[in-house]
Amino acid sequence: MHITQTSPEALNQAASILKSGGLVSFPTETVYGLGANALDGKAVAKIFAAKGRPSFNPLIIHVPDLSAAQKYAVFDDRALEIAHAFWPGPLTLILPKRRDGGISDLVTAGLDTIAVRVPAHKTAQELLKTCGLPVAAPSANISGTLSPTTPKHVADSLQNAVDMVLAGGACEIGLESTILDLTGDHPEILRPGAVVAEDFQSRFDFPVVYNVAINEKAPKSPGQLLKHYAPARPVRLRAVDLGGDEALLAFGSLKFMGLKGGGHVKDLPQSRVLNLSESGDLHEAAANLFAMLKALDRPEHSAIAVMDIPDTGLGIAINDRLSRAAQS
């Protein structure tokens, strides 16, 4: 991995890495981000692989301005007022996701809402304008370690998992952005940051409350649980055959998948079988996971049977999400 000082050439290089599906770490005023093209599910899967995240949490997309944000999220009047007041800056908004925006379902973990941010940092702004893409970016560190605020932190944490580190000095704020959820009746702060509830109260006449998950894995109350997408149909894991009205979410070769009571899966209508990755590629499978679960989650199917997926690398995150879907 190379750390590259920001220059017009470096920005062009970073933009072309993003366009071709690679990972670029870039500075924002909060922390360094680990960015990928949010329209490209396979590129986004690399983020989870690089961070060693055991599960798929939804990611924030980064755009240069409000008009770019409006391509991917639905803004009502309240959201527009807030965006005008705080963007660019350390505030992320959770809004309804636009269906025609083309954002990978892996970015939003299958949710109908999306987290959007317009960073103020000069290098981030220049990169987002140069590449012209929405960039999905969590903090650029191994999961469970401190968020990076210098290019060296990124290099130490991620080593060769990122194609380029665009250097832009130390981050001014050093703490992740405030996350404000605007999808409910009342705006709620889901993650505290440099923008605080009083900043809204001094400008607007609506109340803003904190609803902060202390720890997403062990929430204090169910209300603090991050909402997860789950199919309406039951999910059956490690299927070795397919029942009467079940749909099949396949992985790898279908050669040995039969139907209960006789027959072969390959003779079924295509609408009943989707393959996460025919070649058994876990990046491709991660990129397809939420979109394919949703596509199979139809009333004519009694359940979604899922073939065994190896529990290594990105397979751990895929299996984590599937086992949650199987419980609900």
Binding residues (CB under 5 A) for Mg ion: these are: 139
179 binds ligand TXA (CB under 6 A): yes
Least separation in angstroms between residue 62's CB and ligand TXA is 6
Query: Of residues 83, 106, 111, 135, which one binds ligand TXA by CB under 6 A?
Result: 111
Contact stretch for ligand TXA (CB under 6 A) within 56-64, 65-73, 201-209, 238-246 = 56-64
Query: Of 180, 166, 15, whose CA–CA distance to 89 is shortest?
Result: 180
Contact stretch for ligand TXA (CB under 6 A) within 36-44, 172-180, 294-302, 320-328 = 172-180
Smaller CB separation from ligand TXA, 180 or 265: 180
Q: 46 touches which of Mg ion, ligand TXA, none (CB within 5 to 8 A by kind)?
A: none
| Largest Cα span, the chain | 68
User: Token pair for residue 294?
Assistant: 């949703």
58 binds ligand TXA (CB under 6 A): yes
Least separation in angstroms between residue 105's CB and ligand TXA is 12
HSE-up of residue 288 (Cα within 13 Å, Cβ side): 18
Q: 111 touches which of ligand TXA, Mg ion, none (CB within 5 to 8 A by kind)?
A: ligand TXA
Which uninterrupted H or E stretch holds 178?
strand 178-181
Interactions with ligand TXA, residue window 16-55 (CB under 6 A): 28, 30-31, 33
Cβ contact 320:54 at 8 Å: yes
Residues binding ligand TXA: number (CB under 6 A): 25
Contacts of 180 (CB under 8 A, 6+ apart): 82, 91, 92, 93, 94, 187, 188, 189, 190, 195, 200, 208
Q: By rule CB under 6 A, what string of x and - marks binding of each residue 190-209 to ligand TXA?
A: xx------------------
CA gap 23, 14 in Å, rounded: 9
CA gap 87, 97 in Å, rounded: 19
* 305: β partners: 236, 248
Q: How far is CA 307 from CA 5, 236, 278, in A?
A: 46, 9, 12
Query: Of residues 170, 196, 212, 226, which one binds ligand TXA by CB under 6 A?
Result: 226
Q: By rule CB under 6 A, what string of x and - marks binding of each residue 88-107 to ligand TXA?
A: ----x-x-------------
Query: Of 290, 249, 306, 239, whose CA–CA distance to 272 is shortest?
Result: 249
Q: Which residues bind ligand TXA (CB under 6 A)?
A: 28, 30-31, 33, 57-60, 92, 94, 108, 111, 113-115, 117, 137-139, 176-177, 179, 190-191, 226
